[in-house]
Structures are given as structure tokens and as C-alpha cells.
């Protein structure tokens, strides 16, 4: 395969390369800017940066509100991931099972929460919660996040299952495993890395989610709600430090998840 | 320690012998298991029940339930239904929408805005996806892709916030332009359509990138070589071969981006101004604050949902594309 | 002796199409039995029904005297070697082989001993910590075989396990499979579409076509005494001479084939006088000569081509009415033939008259 003969000669190729880097700058620029600002020694946000400091980080790390929101978000993400993984895998097993009628419909319904626009999904969940006579708060948030996360688990698991040799489970059953043990012993380990990648993805979307939390949340703020409140309440440079910390953690975890799913796709 | 003299070596397993018969054997043998899951797994009906119960219940209750309730509430006169009344159904909530341009204009604005952002995302992201999938050295392809993915782990609000930092009156863009002597006083970049599209595009570019990349990567390079061999110029090759073959990616990318755009909530609140009120803000007002008119809000949500899905569905029908790649 | 496997009038239909049609089959313990037939003949379905992966539409399957028709695979004492081996990719060779033993609740040290013993049987000592991906095709094949043998099944089922190997390795594995079967004394049921495989290994071959048994018997009998045109054609190569029966004398039929008067043994289904029959003769049963041989069963033809292959020569002969006949001759017994007229003849005991 020769890339040279593909589509364009050299001039357009340079153009494409330039375009790519411009796009990278567009994506990374604002974030890098934010990083830089987090070291600025002034109480207001403005350029240029004259003095550098780590004060904002010290402040953030001691900020009870931030820490509490962070822990709360982690807790919700953890619960969401557990529920979404169990239910998502279960639904995938149903969709991939033999002799199940109406698989296309099942798959479409399983993916429904992923195609409903976020705002409308949040409102429908808010209404659902009050129809059930539930309180808004932690349980409602976890439910909302789980509903949103399940389709992604289903899609990831089904994609991975498609590469599984058809008779691995047959072999396990043949050797004396009933269908549940065959699932635990063969299917789950096979899903392994892809599933972990999917779980991290679930956790990150949960930590990131604003609109559902906004409608379903109680008085205790999650991380995005805290940032939202701070941004609306005026620009404190503290937000820069806070956001930088969050970005570094989530990007590292995200990269790890990406590597896991990529590796599982190769093997 | 002389391992050779270890008497255990000739008898049972030594320390480094593989340990077999782990938890699974004990689990399968335990009576607790045999009388619960083991019993269910024995019969075909039991296996079917294990497979069906939770998924079906979950899908019906949590996937269909909320949308169904949304639809139901949208026809109610009042919600919560006051004690003593039967909760009559009515079209009145829908009529409110058409009665006043205060609602109708943001609705249309919302759809047009989403369509424009989708188109812009397609035009901007396509060359990038193409570059990563076909032009860049295959060994560096993963890195080139990851560089684009990393910002998306930052999350919706943080990215929106970083856009504010860039575009604010004393933000980086204005400071830079003033330093260069291009402007005397800051030009307002924030709280208008520019900042809104800039920010939303920033949020949704990934949803366009991934489907496009997946579709373009699948196009066999020799097809294009063959076309070039037959005398097709670059533009003809793009129009006749690459574009049609990446149609699946275009369809799913555009549908995904459009549906996401319609539902963005936080960014318009933070990046938009009084002149850019779009529909989600209107809907949100019915659920917060004093005007506790949920049925009206529900009706508006339904209108939005149906319109958004209809447009996305129509788009897919017109442009076409294979079933399997939609939304994946 | 009671058969170890008994298919009692078993039918399996998919929609309206029967994949297996009223199958009656008894298999003796300790034998190497091959189900042979073209793809879609029902042999794999038969195997999967015995394994428990398909439920018969009607009929019963008896295994070691027990009706297992509706039992799930994990509760039958049979194990399968799958076509693509189906080794668990995330487990070591040892863990793969131990899988069935663990589920039987065997103690760890006993499992260890059994795994070691089985690996020795196929000369894979020291491989127990390898992953399946690190093995060659032939090694995977052996591990799959040992994994299926480990839980000590009543019957071992093999679903075209050699089809993924290259020709040389396949021949080697055929011999190894047969010797493992003999050493363990297990009943092997082997499914294949490859007649050579079937002839090499089997004690008994069951030839299936369209969901039914065409014929069964030991390899020699099947080769020498095919009972139908299908079997004669499927196992080995056969020349057919269609004709009408003129008379029947005991076990011998006299046939008029395009004017030639030919004599042949009758098949189990005896034709009557006046019936249309196919006279089947193997290429190696045909004797060629330059002059007309004495006696019946002599046909004149024209030698079209002779291909010398070392241990035999392959002759293509055209009969006057255009029919092509293949013959194999021993090059040590003749000096080759000149193109042109040639005489064919065969012993009447080497020819069978099959009712068309």
C-alpha cells in the first residue's frame, strides 16, 4: 500500500497535516491555557501571567467542599459502574444468546438511552423519579447514571463477544459446566480487558455527567455541579487548579482504559 | 534449602505445582449452589428465566419507563395529580407551544443551531479523521488518534470552562490580539452564537471523529489506487470512492452529533447570552423555579424528542447506510 | 453385548427440512466409528445431538443404557473435540485439561497427576504452563484431545478435528489418533467428509446421505461391496457400466451393457431379470491387454491417455459409445500400452450390479 498515491499528491498532504495540527491546537489549546492559569499569582483571571505560584493547588487540596464533592462523585461513579456493568453484561448475554426472538428490537431498546438527547433524558428521569415517589438525591443520581451507562456497556460487550469463538462455551458445557459456570469461567474472562475498559468509561461518564445530576441531585453537590456553581458565581482561579487536577486524573485513567480495549481488540 | 531432598516432591504436589480445583470446583460442588443457580441452570426453562428476567425488567422499567412517563405526564392537566381529581388528559400543554412565538422561536433556533453545528463538525472533522486513518504513518496512527481523544476525558464542564478562559474579555484570545495590535479594546467573544458554537463544537467533535475514523479506515487503499490507475483525479476519487464508502460513518456521526447537540444543557447556560436562548433552557424553566408546570415542560420535551428523532431518522433514511453501524 | 450408544428412530428437523431422518444406529463400546458423508448429510447434527447441543425432534438417544435424549451437555458422560479445538485462550494447557476434572470435584493433587499423565500420553510433557496461543496446530489438536479425554467420558466425539491441519500433519495425526484410541480402549465417534481419513482409522464406517444411513460396515467391506451407487462413488473411485439384467444365476447377474455381455456379483438388494442396473468396477480391478482376453467381461476400447505414476499407471480409456473408463495397472506387470485399441476385462467377483 502506498500512501503517496492515496487521494492526493504531496501538496494536499501537507495541507491535511496542517489541518490536523490546527485541530489538535483547537482541542488542547484551551486546556493548556487552563493549566497555565492555574499557576498564576493573582486573584482574578487575566493575562499575561506575571508571577507563578502553587498556592491555588494548596487551596484546592484543603478545600473541604471540593474534597467532599470529589468523594461523592467517586462514590456515585463506583456504584453506577457496578450496576451498569452487571446489567449491561446481562443484557448482552440475552442479545447474543441463541434462539432469542426479536434481537434487533432488543438491541434498539437497550441502546435507547444513548440516543435520547441528554436534556430530555434527564427530564424524563426526573419525572420518573417523582412518579415512583422517590426522593431526588444519591439513589436517583445513581439510577440516572446507570440508565445512561448501560447502552455503552452493551455495545462494548457485544463488540467483544462477536470475536469470541462460537464453541468455547459449548466446550465448557461439554466438560461439565452448567451455563452459569461456563459464563463465569469462560465468557467473563474472555470479555476481561474490554469489560474493564468499558467500566472505566462508565465511571468517567458518570463523573463527567452534569445534566442528569442537575435534575436528579439533592443538596450535596457532585464535582461537575460544584464547578458549575463556581463558574456561574464568578471566575475564581481556584477553579483552574481544581479542573487541572481532575483532568490529569481522568485523562490518565481514560488513556489506560483506551489501551485496555485496544489490546483486547488485537488479541 | 535443597529442593532435591524435599520428600514432598515425590509424593503430592510440590510448592510450585499448579494449583488446580480452585473456587469454581468448590462452588459447583457446594450444596448452596446446587440448590439455587445450579437447579435453575438444569432445565431449559430455568436457563431462559435466568437469561430473560433481569434484562427484560430493566429495559421495560428503566429504558421505556421514563420516556413513557414523560409522554403520559405531557397529557396531564396537573402533576402531581391533586388528591380527589382523576387526572384528566388534555392537549392543552401542546397548544401552549404553538400559541406563542416565545416558545416556537427558541425551538426552531435550537434545531437550526444543532444542524449547523453538525454540518460544521462534519466539514472540520472529516479531513482530520481522513488524515489519521489514511495519511499518517500507520506506526504513529494510534498516537495521532490518542492525541485527539485525550481532551475528551476532561469532561463537559471543564472543557466549557476552559473555553470561557480563552474567549473572555480579558481572556487569552483578546489579550493576544491586543498585544499584536490588532484591536484597541476587547471584542466581545463570549455570550453570543460564536462562543456557543465554538464551545459546543468543542464538546461534540469526538462523536463525529470516531465513526468517521472507523469508516474511513475500512476503505481498502487499493480501491483508490485502482481509481487513480483508471485516470480519476483527486477530486473524482474523493467524490466517487472515498465519500460513498465512508457514508456509514457520516450517517452515524451526524446522527449522534445532532442528537447530542439538541440535548446540550450546561454549555448554553454558561456560554450563551440573552440573545441565544435555545430550547433546553426553556424546558428547564418549567421544572425549576416558581412556575412548577411539569406537564407543559413534558409536552415541550416530547415535541423536542420527536422532532430530533424524526430529523435524525429522516436523515438516515435519505442518506442511507447499513443498519449495523448506526449509533455504534 | 449392549451397545454403548443407541440412536432409536431419531429425527431432527429444522423448519420442514429433516437434517437427520429416522436414524437407527447402534455403536459398540471400544470401537473407532466414523460418520462419513458429504456436508449437509446430517453427520454433524447426529454428533451434536449425542453431545447434547441439539435436541432431537423425535426419537430417543440411549447412552450406556441411560436415556439422555433431553439431558443438557454438562450432564452427559460424552466429550467433544471441536473442529477448531475451542481451547480456552485465557487458560494454560494444564488448566484447559484440568477444566473437566475440577468440575468433577477432583482434588488438586489428583488433577495434577492426571494432567501430567495425559500430557505424557501425547508427548507434551512440560507444556502444562504454556498458553494455547503459543502452541502449533498439531499441539493444540493434542491438547484438545486430552482435555476431552481427561474426565474419562464413555464416548469421545470428534467433529472433523483434523480439517484445520495441513496434509502431512493430518496423516500423522490420523495414526496417532488411532493409536490413542487403541491404548485407551475408548469408544471414538469421528465425523468427517474425508473418505481417506475414514478408511485409515475406522473399525466401522457409517456412510450418511440426506440424513439417512446409506451403508455401514468395516472399511474393507464398504470398499469391496458397496451397496449403492452413492457409496461406490463416495468411497474410492468407481467405473459404472449401466445395463439391463438378462439373467440371474445364484449370486451372479448377467448384464447387457451397450451390447457387451458382462457378469457381476449381485448386491444385497437383488435385481430381477429386465431391471436396469449399474455395474460398478474399481479402476484397480480392471485388467488391460492388447489382445482380446478369453471368457466373458471383455470390452473393447481405445486408450486415450496413460499417466505413469511410479507405483501405478493410470489409464484413460474411451469405449465405442463414448463412455470414459479409468483403470489402474501395475507397471511391473506390463510394459505400457500403445495408444489405440485396447481390451478391458475384470473378474466377476470384483464387479457389483447395483439396482439403479
pLDDT tens per residue across span A177-193: 888 888 988 999 999 88
Q: Assess B47–A contact: CB distance below 8 Å, yes or no.
A: yes
Our measurement of the distance from residue B324's CA atom to the centroid of its chain's CA atoms, rounded to an integer in Å, reads: 17
pLDDT tens per residue across span B181-212: 888 888 888 888 888 889 899 889 888 998 99
Residues 23-42 of B with CB under 8 A from A: 24, 27-28, 37-38, 40-42
Confidence of residue B8 (pLDDT cuts 50, 70, 90): very low
Kindly compute the dihedral angle of the four CA atoms of residues B185, B189, B193, B196, in this order, to the nearest 10 degrees: -170
Nearest CA-CA partner of C332 in C304, C305, C311: C311
Q: Where do we find the cell 457496578?
A: A82
Nearest CA-CA partner of C34 in C187, C165, C140, C182: C187
Our measurement of the distance from residue A218's CA atom to the centroid of its chain's CA atoms, rounded to an integer in Å, reads: 22
A37 CA to chain C: closest CA distance, Å?
48
A148 within some domain: yes
A182 within some domain: yes
Third-level CATH fold of C5-229: Rossmann fold (3.40.50)
Q: Under 8 Å CB-to-CB from C53, ≥6 apart: which residues? A: A170, A173, A174, C73
Test mutation, A171, A173, A183, A188, chain C, max C CBs within 10 A = A171
Q: Helix, strand, or coil here: C320? A: coil
pLDDT tens per residue across span C267-304: 888 888 888 899 999 999 998 888 888 877 888 889 98
Give the pLDDT of residue A235: 67
Q: Where do we find the cell 470479555?
A: A191
Test mutation, C74, C98, C102, C130, chain B, max B CBs within 10 A = C102
A94 within some domain: yes
Q: Which of B9-13, B121-125, C233-237 has the lowest mean pLDDT?
A: B9-13
Average pLDDT estimate for B71-92 = 79
The three cell numbers of residue B132 are 489519521
Domain C237-355 CATH (choose: 1.10.260.40, 2.40.50.140, 3.30.420.10, 3.40.50.1820): 2.40.50.140
Using a CB-CB distance cutoff of 8 angstroms, which residues of chain A are in contact with residue B128?
19-20, 23
Give the pLDDT of residue B227: 80
Give the pLDDT of residue A264: 63
Pairing state between β C340-345 and C260-266 = unpaired
Give the ranges where B59-140 is alpha helix by DSSP (H). Answer: 65-73, 92-99, 101-130
Q: Which of A262-266, B131-135, B257-261 has the lowest mean pLDDT?
A: A262-266
Give the pLDDT of residue C59: 92
Measured distance CA(C29)–CA(C33) in Å, rounded: 10
Using a CB-CB distance cutoff of 8 angstroms, which residues of chain A are in contact with residue B73?
127, 131
Write down the domain spans for chain B.
30-73, 97-325
Our measurement of the distance from residue A214's CA atom to the centroid of its chain's CA atoms, rounded to an integer in Å, reads: 17
The three cell numbers of residue A172 are 465448557
Residues 172-191 of B with CB under 8 A from A: 172, 175-176
Domain B97-325 CATH (choose: 3.30.1600.10, 3.30.43.10, 1.10.3720.10, 1.20.1740.10): 1.10.3720.10
Our measurement of the distance from residue C91's CA atom to the centroid of its chain's CA atoms, rounded to an integer in Å, reads: 34
Q: Under 8 Å CB-to-CB from B2, ≥6 apart: which residues? A: none
Q: Helix, strand, or coil here: C13? A: strand
- Provide ipTM, 2 decimals: 0.86
CATH, residue A216: 1.10.3720.10
Kindly compute the dihedral angle of the four CA atoms of residues A32, A34, A37, A43, in this order, to the nearest 10 degrees: 180
Q: Under 8 Å CB-to-CB from A234, ≥6 apart: which residues? A: none
Of A115, A147, A224, the CB nearest to B327: A115
C55 CA to chain B: closest CA distance, Å?
11
pLDDT tens per residue across span B86-122: 667 888 888 888 888 888 888 888 899 999 999 999 9
Using a CB-CB distance cutoff of 8 angstroms, which residues of chain B are in contact with residue A235?
164, 168
Using CA atoms, how far residue A218 sits from A135, B289, C223, C307, in Å, is 8, 15, 83, 91
C111 CA to chain A: closest CA distance, Å?
14
Do residues A26 and B162 make contact, with C-beta atoms less than 8 angstroms apart? no
Q: Is pLDDT of B6 > 60? A: no
Identify the burial level of B157 via C-beta atoms within 10 angstroms of its C-beta, where 0-12 means exposed, 13-18 middle and 19 or more buried: buried
Neighbours of chain A (3+ CB pairs under 8 A): B, C
Task: Judge: C102–B12 Cβ closer than 8 Å, yes or no.
Answer: no
In eight-state DSSP terms, residue C272 is: P
Measured distance CA(B145)–CA(C22) in Å, rounded: 59
Q: Helix, strand, or coil here: C259? A: coil
Do residues A212 and A145 make contact, with C-beta atoms less than 8 angstroms apart? yes
Domain housing A132: 63-266
Selected residue with higher pLDDT from C179 and B325:
C179
* Delimiting residues of CATH 2.40.50.140 domain(s) in chain C: 237-355
Show the CA angle centred on residue B55, arms to residues B59 and B262, nearest 5°.
30
Residues 65-94 of A with CB under 8 A from B: 87, 90-91, 93-94
* Delimiting residues of CATH 3.40.50.300 domain(s) in chain C: 5-229
Q: Which residues of chain C have pLDDT under 50?
A: none
Beta bridge partners of C256: C244, C261
Selected residue with higher pLDDT from B165 and A188:
A188
Q: Which residues of chain A have pLDDT under 50?
A: 1-8, 267
Do residues C61 and C68 make contact, with C-beta atoms less than 8 angstroms apart? yes
Give the pLDDT of residue C188: 94
Task: Judge: B12–C115 Cβ closer than 8 Å, yes or no.
Answer: no
- State the distance between the two ends of chain C, measured CA to CA, in whole angstroms: 36
Give the pLDDT of residue B323: 47
Amino acid at each position: 500500500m502506498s500512501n503517496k498515491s492515496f487521494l492526493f499528491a504531496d501538496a494536499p498532504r501537507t495541507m491535511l497535516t496542517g489541518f490536523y495540527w490546527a485541530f489538535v491546537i483547537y482541542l488542547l489549546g484551551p486546556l493548556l491555557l487552563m493549566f497555565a492559569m492555574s499557576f498564576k499569582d493573582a486573584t482574578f483571571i487575566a493575562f499575561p501571567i506575571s508571577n507563578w505560584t502553587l498556592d491555588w493547588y494548596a487551596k484546592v487540596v484543603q478545600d473541604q467542599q471540593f474534597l467532599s464533592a470529589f468523594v461523592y462523585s467517586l462514590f456515585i461513579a463506583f456504584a453506577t459502574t457496578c450496576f451498569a456493568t452487571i446489567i449491561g453484561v446481562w443484557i448482552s448475554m440475552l442479545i447474543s444468546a441463541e434462539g432469542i426472538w426479536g434481537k434487533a428490537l432488543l438491541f434498539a431498546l437497550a441502546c435507547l438511552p444513548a440516543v435520547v438527547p441528554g436534556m430530555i433524558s434527564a427530564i424524563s428521569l426526573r419525572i420518573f423519579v417523582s412518579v415512583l415517589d422517590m426522593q431526588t438525591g444519591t439513589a436517583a443520581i445513581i439510577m440516572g447514571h446507570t440508565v445512561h451507562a448501560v447502552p455503552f456497556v452493551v455495545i462494548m460487550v457485544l463488540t467483544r463477544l462477536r470475536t469470541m469463538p462460537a464453541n468455547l462455551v459449548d466446550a465448557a458445557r461439554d466438560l461439565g459446566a452448567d451455563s452459569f459456570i461456563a459464563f463465569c469461567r469462560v465468557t467473563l474472562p474472555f470479555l476481561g480487558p474490554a469489560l474493564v475498559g468499558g467500566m472505566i468509561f462508565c465511571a468517567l461518564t458518570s463523573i463527567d455527567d452534569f445534566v442528569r445530576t442537575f435534575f436528579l441531585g439533592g443538596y450535596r453537590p457532585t464535582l461537575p455541579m460544584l464547578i458549575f456553581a463556581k463558574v456561574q458565581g464568578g471566575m475564581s482561579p481556584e477553579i483552574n487548579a481544581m479542573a487541572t487536577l481532575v483532568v490529569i486524573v481522568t485523562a490518565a485513567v481514560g488513556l489506560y482504559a483506551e489501551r485496555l480495549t485496544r489490546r483486547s481488540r488485537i488479541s | 534449602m535443597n529442593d532435591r531432598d524435599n520428600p514432598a516432591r515425590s509424593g503430592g504436589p510440590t510448592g510450585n505445582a499448579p494449583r488446580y480445583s480452585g473456587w469454581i470446583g468448590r462452588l459447583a460442588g457446594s450444596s448452596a449452589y446446587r440448590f439455587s443457580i445450579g437447579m435453575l441452570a438444569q432445565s431449559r426453562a430455568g436457563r431462559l428465566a435466568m437469561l430473560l428476567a433481569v434484562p427484560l425488567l430493566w429495559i421495560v422499567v428503566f429504558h421505556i419507563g421514563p420516556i413513557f412517563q414523560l409522554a403520559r405526564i405531557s397529557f396531564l392537566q396537573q402533576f402531581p395529580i391533586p388528591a380527589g381529581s382523576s387526572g384528566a388528559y388534555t392537549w392543552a400543554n401542546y397548544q401552549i407551544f404553538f400559541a406563542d412565538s416565545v416558545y416556537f422561536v427558541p425551538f426552531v433556533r435550537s434545531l437550526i443551531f444543532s444542524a449547523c453545528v453538525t454540518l460544521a463538525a462534519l466539514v472540520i472533522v472529516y479531513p482530520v479523521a481522513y488524515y489519521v486513518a489514511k495519511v499518517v504513518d500507520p506506526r504513529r496512527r494510534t498516537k495521532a488518534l490518542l492525541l485527539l481523544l485525550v481532551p475528551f476525558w476532561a469532561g463537559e464542564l471543564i472543557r466549557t470552562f476552559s473555553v470561557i478562559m480563552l474567549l473572555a474579555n480579558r481572556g487569552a484570545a483578546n489579550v493576544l490580539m491586543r498585544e499584536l495590535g490588532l484591536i484597541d479594546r476587547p471584542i466581545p467573544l463570549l455570550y453570543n452564537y460564536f462562543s456557543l458554537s465554538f464551545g459546543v463544537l468543542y464538546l461534540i467533535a469526538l462523536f463525529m471523529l470516531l465513526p468517521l475514523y472507523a469508516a474511513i479506515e475500512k476503505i481498502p487503499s487499493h480501491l483508490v489506487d485502482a481509481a487513480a490507475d483508471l485516470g480519476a483525479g483527486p477530486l473524482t476519487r474523493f467524490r466517487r470512492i472515498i465519500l460513498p464508502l465512508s457514508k456509514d460513518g457520516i450517517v452515524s456521526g451526524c446522527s449522534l452529533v445532532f442528537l447530542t447537540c439538541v440535548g446540550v444543557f450546561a454549555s448554553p447556560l454558561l456560554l450563551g447570552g440573552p440573545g441565544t436562548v435555545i430550547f433546553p433552557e426553556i424546558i428547564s424553566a418549567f421544572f425549576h423555579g416558581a412556575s412548577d408546570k411539569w406537564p407543559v415542560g413534558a409536552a415541550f420535551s416530547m415535541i423536542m424528542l420527536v422532532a430530533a428523532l424524526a430529523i435524525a431518522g429522516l436523515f438516515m433514511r435519505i442518506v442511507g447506510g447499513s443498519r449495523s453501524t448506526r449509533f455504534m | 453385548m449392549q451397545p454403548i450408544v443407541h440412536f432409536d428412530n431419531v429425527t431432527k428437523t429444522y423448519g420442514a427440512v429433516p437434517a437427520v431422518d429416522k436414524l437407527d444406529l447402534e455403536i459398540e463400546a471400544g470401537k473407532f466409528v466414523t460418520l462419513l458423508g458429504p456436508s449437509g448429510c446430517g453427520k454433524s447434527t447426529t454428533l451434536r445431538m449425542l453431545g447434547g447441543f441439539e435436541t432431537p425432534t423425535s426419537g430417543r438417544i440411549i447412552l450406556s443404557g441411560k436415556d439422555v435424549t433431553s439431558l443438557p451437555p454438562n450432564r452427559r458422560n460424552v466429550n467433544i473435540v471441536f473442529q477448531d479445538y475451542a481451547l480456552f485462550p485465557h487458560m494454560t494447557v494444564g488448566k484447559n485439561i484440568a477444566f473437566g476434572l475440577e468440575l468433577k470435584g477432583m482434588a488438586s493433587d489428583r488433577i495434577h497427576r492426571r494432567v501430567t499423565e495425559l500430557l505424557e500420553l501425547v508427548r507434551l510433557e512440560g507444556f502444562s504452563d504454556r498458553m494455547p496461543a503459543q502452541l502449533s496446530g498439531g499441539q493444540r489438536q493434542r491438547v484438545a484431545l486430552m482435555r476431552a479425554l481427561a474426565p474419562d467420558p464413555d464416548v469421545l466425539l470428534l467433529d472433523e478435528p483434523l480439517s484445520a491441519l495441513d496434509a502431512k500433519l493430518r496423516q500423522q495425526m490420523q495414526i496417532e489418533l488411532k493409536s490413542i484410541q487403541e491404548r485407551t480402549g475408548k469408544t471414538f465417534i469421528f465425523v468427517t467428509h474425508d473418505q481417506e481419513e475414514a478408511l485409515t482409522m475406522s473399525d466401522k464406517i457409517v456412510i450418511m446421505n440426506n440424513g439417512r444411513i446409506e451403508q455401514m460396515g468395516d472399511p474393507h467391506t464398504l470398499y469391496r461391496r458397496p451397496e449403492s451407487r452413492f457409496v461406490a462413488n463416495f468411497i474410492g473411485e468407481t467405473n459404472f457400466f449401466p445395463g439391463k439384467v438378462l439373467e440371474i444365476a445364484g449370486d451372479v447377474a448377467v448384464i447387457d451393457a451397450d451390447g457387451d455381455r458382462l457378469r457381476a456379483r449381485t448386491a444385497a438388494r437383488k435385481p430381477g431379470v429386465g431391471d436396469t442396473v449399474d455395474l460398478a468396477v474399481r479402476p484397480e480391478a480392471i485388467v488391460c491387454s492388447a489382445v482380446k482376453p478369453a471368457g466373458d467381461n471383455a470390452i473393447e476400447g481405445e486408450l486415450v491417455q496413460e499417466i505413469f505414476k511410479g507405483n501405478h499407471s493410470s489409464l484413460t480409456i474411451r469405449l465405442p459409445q463414448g463412455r470414459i473408463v479409468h483403470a489402474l495397472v501395475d507397471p511391473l506387470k506390463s510394459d505400457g500400452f500403445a495408444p489405440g485399441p485396447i481390451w478391458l476385462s475384470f473378474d466377476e467377483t470384483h464387479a457389483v450390479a447395483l439396482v439403479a
